């Protein structure tokens, strides 16, 4: 698997490629399977249909990795928090008031279908296609648990981090433990590597970043590596800015996803030597296609030649991306 050799530090050319949100609404076959499932959560918890939507972009574009189809909010739901997806508006949760409403022991029974999706996928994917398991990082998942929805800058979460550190740090403890169990289950079910999505890393002041982003991530990385010594983890501290190097250095993560705003060469200069990067084509360019996309792809390929690198977007693919642009992107990478 080219993605796994890259995570082990071997450069491969062209770089292994996959796209965040590669299974999704830009594909007509995804929309059809989602309609068959009824709603988004039912799709995540239906192993046959979740397997199907994970495989759709692999069949169509031949990416080097498949990412388990699920969502970062399935874990808080499994811990007992309510979750629904309002049509066209994104997730809604009743904002968390007490830690006693969460149950670590009930969670594995509720997320069991997700682990079944992982084992089905490992059996059905081509041997050379890596299977990526994932979870949200505790701070990002806590943003949704405490504020109850996205779409803003999570004011309640940021305020509680200062005003009620006991509550927020207690929530981190629960999420660290739950995430270790959940990801460990994914590895045991057949995931070849793992990714931690810290999509809201960019909203925290540096001292809160250290407490809620770096420290929980470091504990998750170290626990997973002691349980599964060969497993590699990719972190994605989106919009971490100048905190990126400290994140890489302190957490022990094996590779780091770069968001759209981060200059690849500046990241190479700032992070420890040998850091493996993933990213970071602007998803807007994938939507627009044409010469602007082609130039940006060439620039990325040029700057990663000779380094172990994973080609990806700087954030998820949007529903309005034409399939033909994804096909053209793969053509450009394969011809490199």
Residues that bind ligand 1CP (CB under 6 A): 20-25, 34, 40, 67, 69, 71-73, 90-91, 134, 150-151, 197, 199, 316
Residue 11 has a CB neighbour count (10 Å cut-off) of: 14
Least distance CB 34 / ligand 1CP (angstroms) = 5
- Give the nearest distance from C-beta 48 to ligand 1CP in angstroms: 16
CA distance 220 to 96: 23
Cβ-based nearer residue to ligand 1CP, 206 or 319: 319
Q: Is 71 a catalytic residue?
A: yes
How is 268-334 classified by DSSP, letter by letter?
HHHSPTT-EEEEEE-HHHHHH-HHHHHHHHHHHHHHHTTS-EEEEESSPPPTT--HHHHHHHHHHHH
Find the shortest distance in angstroms from Cβ 30 to ligand 1CP.
7
> Do 202 and 208 meet the contact criterion of CB atoms below 8 Å apart?
no
Residue 257, strand partner residues: 278
Is 25 labeled as catalytic in the residue annotation?
A: yes
In whole angstroms, the minimum distance from the beta carbon of 239 to ligand 1CP comes to 10
Q: 80's torsion region: left (phi>0), alpha (psi -120 to 50) or beta? A: left
Residue by residue, DSSP assigns 209-244 as IIIIIIHHHHHHHHHHHHHSTT--EEEEETT-GGGH
Instruction: Name the residue number minimizing CB distance to ligand 1CP.
Output: 150
Please state the closest distance from residue 60 (CB atom) to ligand 1CP, in A: 13
Among the listed residues 111, 144, 182, 247, the single catalytic one is: 144
For residue 148, what are the CA distances in angstroms to 49, 95, 122, 256? 27, 5, 34, 28
Task: Choose, from 2, 26, 71, 219, the residue flagged as catalytic.
Answer: 71
| CB closer to ligand 1CP out of 22 and 278 | 22
N- to C-terminal Cα distance for the chain?
A: 19
Would you say 207 or 261 has its CB closer to ligand 1CP? Answer: 261
d(CA 245, CA 271): 5
- Confirm whether 21 is a catalytic residue: yes
Count of CA atoms in the C-beta half-sphere (13 A) of 21: 15
CA distance 297 to 328: 11
Q: Which is nearer to ligand 1CP, 56 or 215 (CB)?
A: 56
Residue 197 C-beta: closest distance to ligand 1CP, Å: 4
Helix (H) or strand (E) holding 4: helix 2-7
Comparing CB distances to ligand 1CP, the nearer of 109 and 151 is: 151
Q: Nearer to ligand 1CP by C-beta: 60 or 307?
A: 60
**DSSP characters over 45-72:** T-HHHHHHHHHHHHHHH--SEEE-S--T
By beta-carbon proximity to ligand 1CP, the closer residue of 21 and 307 is 21
Quote the least distance from Cβ 150 to ligand 1CP, whole Å: 2
Q: Is residue 196 within a helix (H) or strand (E), and if so which, with residue range? A: strand 193-198
CA torsion sign for 195, 199, 205, 211 is: negative
Q: Which residues are catalytic?
A: 21, 25, 34, 71, 144
């Amino acid at each position: 698997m080219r993605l796994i050799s890259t995570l082990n530090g071997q450069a491969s050319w062209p770089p292994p490629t996959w796209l965040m949100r590669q299974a999704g609404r830009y594909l007509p076959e995804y929309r059809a399977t989602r309609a068959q499932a009824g709603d988004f959560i039912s799709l995540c918890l239906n192993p046959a249909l979740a397997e199907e939507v994970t495989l759709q972009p692999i069949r169509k574009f031949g990416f080097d990795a498949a990412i388990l189809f699920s969502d970062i909010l399935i874990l808080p739901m499994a811990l007992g928090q309510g979750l629904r997806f309002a049509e066209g508006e994104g997730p809604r949760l009743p904002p968390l008031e007490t830690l006693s409403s969460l149950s670590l022991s009930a969670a594995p029974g509720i997320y069991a279908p997700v682990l079944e999706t992982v084992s089905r996928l490992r059996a059905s994917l081509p041997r050379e296609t890596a299977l990526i398991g994932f979870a949200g990082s505790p701070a990002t998942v806590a943003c949704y648990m405490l504020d109850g929805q996205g779409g803003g800058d999570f004011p309640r979460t940021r305020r509680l981090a200062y005003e009620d550190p006991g509550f927020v740090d207690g929530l981190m403890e629960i999420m660290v433990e739950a995430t270790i169990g959940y990801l460990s289950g994914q590895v045991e079910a057949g995931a070849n590597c793992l990714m931690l999505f810290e999509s809201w890393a960019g909203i925290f002041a540096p001292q809160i970043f250290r407490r809620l982003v770096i420290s929980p991530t470091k504990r998750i990385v170290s626990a997973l590596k002691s349980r599964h010594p060969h497993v590699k983890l990719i972190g994605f501290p989106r919009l971490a800015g100048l905190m990126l190097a400290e994140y890489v250095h302190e957490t022990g993560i094996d590779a780091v996803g770069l968001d759209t705003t981060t200059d690849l060469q500046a990241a190479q200069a700032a992070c420890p030597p040998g850091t493996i990067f993933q990213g970071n084509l602007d998803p807007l360019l994938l939507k627009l296609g044409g010469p602007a996309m082609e130039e940006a792809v060439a620039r990325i390929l040029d700057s990663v030649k000779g380094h172990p690198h994973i080609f990806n977007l700087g954030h998820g693919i949007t529903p309005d991306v034409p399939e033909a642009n994804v096909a053209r992107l793969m053509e450009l990478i394969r011809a490199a």
